[in-house]
Amino acid sequence: MSIEVKNITKLYKDQKALNNVSFKVKDAEIVGFLGPNGAGKSTMMKILTTYIKADEGSASVNNFDVDTEKKEVQTSVGYLPEHNPLYTDLYVKEYLNFNANVYGTPKSRIEEVIELTGLKPEAHKKISQLSKGYRQRVGLANALLHNPDVLILDEPTTGLDPNQLIDIRNLIKSIGKEKTVFLSTHIMQEVEAMCDRVIIINKGEVVADKYLKDLRDGQEQIVIVEFDYRVEDAFILKLPKVKSVKNTYGFVYEITFSTKEDMRSHVFDFAHDNDLKILQLNQKNASLESLFQELTK
Ligand code: ADP
C-alpha cells in the first residue's frame, strides 16, 4: 500500500484541522485530495511527509510509519509544497545539483529528471527568469530527484495560466503511470483532468472517496458550449436528451443532458445545421460537480 492513514486527528491549539481521517492509496494510482480552502489538505500532506506530527492515529507511506520510520518515509516520498520554495538566484542545474548532493543522488539523475519534466529548453536559465509553469517543473524535478515511489503534490496547478495548466497536468499524468501520485486541489476540474480517484475532505473530515470512473458512469453530463451568436434556450432544448440549459455569460451555454453517452458531437451537428460557429466545447462531470457542491457547502 502506498499510503495508509488510520484515524488521524490533528489539532492546532484547540482547533481541529483533521478529525479522525482514514483512507488508503494503492500503488500507481493518481488520487485527488479535493476540498475547499482550510479543509485540512496541507495539514494531511505535512503529516505524510513527516514535517509535522499528528495528535492521534497513525499513517504510513510505502509501508513505513511516519512517526517511527521517518528516514524511510522521506526516501520513499517526493514532496512539492504549496508555495514551492525555490532559490531564485540559482540556475536550474545548480539548484538540482545542490539538492542531489543533499540526498546523495548520483549526478546522472539530474539529466534524467530534466528530461522527464521537460525542463531541457530552460535548464540553462536562472530560476528567477522562469515562468510559473517552468518553476513548477523545477519543483517536480526536485521532488523526483531521489526517484521516490510516491509523490505528494500540494496544489500543484494553482496560479498557472491555461497553457501551463495543460502542460503540468499532462506531466503529472505521465509521472502517474509509474508512481503513486497524491495531489491536493480545491478545484474540481483538476481532479477530473488528472485523477483516477477522488477523496473529498471538508472541515477536517473525509466526506467522500470515489473512483472517477464510477462517477462518470452516472446518468448525467454537462456540456459547456460557446457559440459566436445568441441562441434561444428553447432552441437548444430541442437537442436530444437535454435536461436543462443555462446561459452562463455572453454566448456561453451550460447544457445538462440526462445520458452518459458523449453528447458533444450532437452539439457540434446542432451548430453546423444552424450556421453557428463553436468557439469552445467542453464536457463536465455532472456527478462530481454536484457531489462536491453538496458535500462542501
Ligand atoms: P487546506 O490545505 O485544505 O487549505 P490547511 O491544512 O492549510 O487547509 O488548514 C486547515 C485548518 O488548520 C485551517 O483552518 C487553517 O487555518 C488551520 N491551520 C493550518 N496550519 C496552521 C498552523 N500552523 N497554526 C494554526 N492553524 C493552522
Report how far ligand 1's centroid is from the alpha carbon of 43 (Å): 6
Alpha-carbon separation of residue 101 from 72, 113, 145, 210 (angstroms): 18, 15, 10, 40
Alpha helices in the chain (DSSP H): 41-48, 70-76, 92-103, 108-116, 132-144, 162-175, 188-194, 212-216, 233-236, 264-273, 286-296
Look at residue 163 in the predicted model and tell me its pLDDT.
Answer: 82
First to last CA, the chain: 32
C-beta separation of 54 from 47 below 8 A: yes
Report how far ligand 1's centroid is from the alpha carbon of 203 (Å): 10
Look at residue 116 in the predicted model and tell me its pLDDT.
Answer: 87
- For 32, the grid coordinates are 485527488
Look at residue 103 in the predicted model and tell me its pLDDT.
Answer: 82
Look at residue 180 in the predicted model and tell me its pLDDT.
Answer: 96
Look at residue 109 in the predicted model and tell me its pLDDT.
Answer: 93
33-46 pLDDT, tens digit each: 999 999 999 999 99
Look at residue 182 in the predicted model and tell me its pLDDT.
Answer: 97
Determine the atom of ligand 1 nearest the C-alpha atom of 46: 6
Determine the atom of ligand 1 nearest the C-alpha atom of 154: 2
Q: How many CB atoms lie within 10 A of CB 282?
A: 12
Determine the atom of ligand 1 nearest the C-alpha atom of 35: 3
Alpha-carbon separation of residue 243 from 15, 231, 238, 249 (angstroms): 43, 17, 10, 19
Look at residue 81 in the predicted model and tell me its pLDDT.
Answer: 92
Look at residue 113 in the predicted model and tell me its pLDDT.
Answer: 92
Per DSSP, 172 falls in state H
Report how far ligand 1's centroid is from the alpha carbon of 57 (Å): 18
Report how far ligand 1's centroid is from the alpha carbon of 60 (Å): 21
Look at residue 281 in the predicted model and tell me its pLDDT.
Answer: 94
Q: Of all protein residues, whose CA lies closest to atom 20 belonging to ligand 1?
A: 43
Look at residue 226 in the predicted model and tell me its pLDDT.
Answer: 96
Look at residue 212 in the predicted model and tell me its pLDDT.
Answer: 87
Q: Of all protein residues, whose CA lies closest to atom 25 belonging to ligand 1?
A: 12
Determine the atom of ligand 1 nearest the C-alpha atom of 204: 10
Q: Which residues of the chain have pLDDT under 70?
A: none
Look at residue 293 in the predicted model and tell me its pLDDT.
Answer: 81
Q: Ligand 1: residues whose CB is within 6 Å?
A: 12, 17, 35, 37-43
Report how far ligand 1's centroid is from the alpha carbon of 283 (Å): 33
Mutate to test the pocket of ligand 1, among 11, 12, 83 (most ligand atoms within 8 A of CB): 12
Q: Of all protein residues, whose CA lies closest to atom 21 belonging to ligand 1?
A: 12
Q: Report pTM.
A: 0.82
| Distance, CA of 243 to CA of 220 (rounded, Å) | 9
For residue 32, the SS3 value is strand
Report how far ligand 1's centroid is from the alpha carbon of 243 (Å): 40
As beta bridge partners, residue 199 has 33, 209
Report how far ligand 1's centroid is from the alpha carbon of 96 (Å): 30
| Distance, CA of 222 to CA of 147 (rounded, Å) | 39
Per DSSP, 245 falls in state E
Cβ-based burial of 37 (10 A; exposed 0-12, middle 13-18, buried ≥19)? exposed
Report how far ligand 1's centroid is from the alpha carbon of 219 (Å): 36
Pick from 12, 292, 49, 20: nearest CA to 154: 49
Q: Of all protein residues, whose CA lies closest to atom 15 belonging to ligand 1?
A: 38
Mutate to test the pocket of ligand 1, among 43, 44, 184, 292 (most ligand atoms within 8 A of CB): 43
Report how far ligand 1's centroid is from the alpha carbon of 38 (Å): 6
- Give, in degrees to the nearest 5, the angle at Cα 159 between 48 and 222: 90
Pick from 131, 136, 32: nearest CA to 83: 136
Sign of CA dihedral 183, 186, 192, 193: negative
- Give, in degrees to the nearest 5, the angle at Cα 183 between 196 and 264: 45
In degrees and rounded to multiples of 5, residue 2 shows phi and psi of -75, -45
| Distance, CA of 92 to CA of 98 (rounded, Å) | 10
Look at residue 280 in the predicted model and tell me its pLDDT.
Answer: 94
Q: How many CB atoms lie within 10 A of CB 88?
A: 12
Determine the atom of ligand 1 nearest the C-alpha atom of 40: 6
